[in-house]
Amino acid sequence: MTNDTKWIIGTVVVLAGLLATQFAAQIAGVNTRIDDVRTDLTAQIAGVNARIDDLSAPVDRIETRIDRIETRLDGFDDRLRSVEIAFGKVDQRLLTLERVILPAPERGDE
C-alpha cells in the first residue's frame, strides 16, 4: 500500500468520523425540536381541554332550561286537552238544550 493510499484512507476515515459526529448532532437537534413541539402541542391541547370544560357549565344550564320549557309545554298540552274536553261537554249540553227547548221544525218547512 502506498503512502498516498494510506493518506486517502486516513482522510476518508477522519471525514467519516466527522460526518458521523455532525449527523449525530443533527439528529440530536431534530430530537430536541420534536420534544419542543411535543411540549407546545401538549400545552395547546391542555388549553383547548380547559376551554371545553369551561363550556360544559353553560351547556348544562341551557339543557336545564330546555328541560323546563319542555315540561311547561307538556303542561300546556294537558291543559289544552282539558279545555277541548270541556268545550265538547258544553257543546253536547247546548245540543241537548236546543233539542229540548226549541221546537222541532214542521214537516212542511224542511
Average pLDDT over residues 55-65: 91
- Burial level of 74, CB count in 10 A (0-12/13-18/19+)? exposed
Per-residue confidence (pLDDT) for residue 9, from 0 to 100: 83
Q: Confidence band (pLDDT; 50, 70, 90) for 92?
A: very high
pTM over 0.75? The answer is no
> Which of 69 and 106 is assigned the larger pLDDT?
69
Start-to-end CA distance of the chain, whole Å, equals 140
Q: Confidence band (pLDDT; 50, 70, 90) for 104?
A: confident
